[in-house]
Homo-oligomer: A and B are copies of this chain.
C-alpha cells in the first residue's frame, strides 16, 4: 500500500505538501496541488488513518455498543445515533455485545484501543466495565451507568400505566413477563407492574429478552391462567404470542396483551397488538447529541435525559 512518501516522491514535493493538499488545511500552489492529487490518484493512495489518528490524537468515529443487533429497538437507536453523528461529520461503528458482559468488555477495550472519539453504550450490567472507560466520553442508553451521561426511558411509569390500562379494561389476573434480573429495564418494568397490581405477584416471570424466553415464560405462566400479560419487549412478544396461539388462546378476548416496543408488525396481527412505544430513534439521536457535547466539553457535569414511552392502544388489550 502506497504511503504519503510515495506520493510525495512521485509528485516531486515534500510529504508536508502532500499532507496539506490532501487535508486542505493550509493553502497550496494550485499546480503542485494538482500534481499531488494526480500522483495520489495514480498510486491508489489511501491515507493511513492509524498514523493520522496517532498523530492527531483524535478520531472522527464513534462506537455504539448495543446489546442485541437483532432487536429492532436497538437498531432504531442505531439509526438515531448514526443520523445525528453523520451530520456532525462523525461515523459510527456498531458492536454487538449480545447481552454478554465478556463481549461487551472486549468491544469496550477495542473502542478504547482504537481511541474512538466517544462511545454510546447500552450496558449489560450496571457498572463493571464502565471503569475502563474513564477518560473516554461515554453515554449510556436504555440502561443507567453511574456517573455518566445517559438517555433513559421512564420504563417504570410506562409499565405501571400499561398495567393500569389492562386493569381499567377489566382484566384481573395480570401477569408480567420481563427480562433477566439485573437488567435495569427489566427490573423497572417489573416494578411498574407491581406499582399497579399492588406488590409482588405469583404471576411474574423473568426470561431472556428474546422470543424463546418469552415463549417459555408464557407457557409456564399459562398454567396459572392469567387473563392478561405485560410483556417486556417485542422479541419476547413474538414468543408469547406463539405460545398463546398454540394454547388456542386469542389475545384480547382470552388474554389481554401489552408489550413494550412498537414493532412494525404490531398492526398486522389480529387483533393488533397494544404496545408501549419507546422513542428509540430519538433516544439514539439524543445520545449522539450528548456525546458530541461531551466531546466538545469533557468536564461538564453529567446529564441524564429521560424520555417518555407512550401507550398505543390497539385490540390486544380489549376483551
Which residues of A are at the interface with B, using a C-beta cutoff of 8 A?
A: 1, 44, 46-54, 61, 63, 69-70, 72, 75-76, 78-79, 82, 86, 91-96, 98, 103, 106-107, 109-110, 112-115, 132, 134-135, 211, 235, 238, 241-242, 245, 263-265, 267-270
Residues of B within 8 A of A98 (CB): 82
Identify the closest chain B residue to A68 (Cβ): B75
> 10 pairs across A/B with beta carbons < 8 Å?
A46-B112, A50-B113, A69-B69, A69-B75, A72-B72, A75-B75, A263-B265, A268-B268, A269-B270, A270-B270
Whether A96 pairs with B115 at a CB distance below 8 angstroms is no
Alpha-carbon separation in the docked complex, A69 to B79 (Å) = 8
Residues of B within 8 A of A103 (CB): 86
> Could you tell me the distance in whole angstroms from the C-beta of A137 to the nearest C-beta in chain B?
13
Residues of B within 8 A of A211 (CB): 264
Alpha-carbon separation in the docked complex, A269 to B79 (Å) = 27
Q: How many copies does the complex hold?
A: 2
> Could you tell me the distance in whole angstroms from the C-beta of A309 to the nearest C-beta in chain B?
19
Residues of B within 8 A of A114 (CB): 49-50, 61, 114
Which of B52, B115, B267 lies in contact with A49, CB distance below 8 A? B115
Residues of B within 8 A of A92 (CB): 95
Given contacts A241-B268, A264-B211, A270-B269, contact A91 B95 (CB under 8 A): yes
Whether A94 pairs with B69 at a CB distance below 8 angstroms is yes
Residues of B within 8 A of A50 (CB): 50, 53-54, 113-115
Whether B113 pairs with A96 at a CB distance below 8 angstroms is no
Alpha-carbon separation in the docked complex, A264 to B70 (Å) = 11
Whether A70 pairs with B69 at a CB distance below 8 angstroms is no
Whether B113 pairs with A52 at a CB distance below 8 angstroms is yes
> Could you tell me the distance in whole angstroms from the C-beta of A175 to the nearest C-beta in chain B?
19
Which of B91, B132, B269, B270 lies in contact with A110, CB distance below 8 A? B91
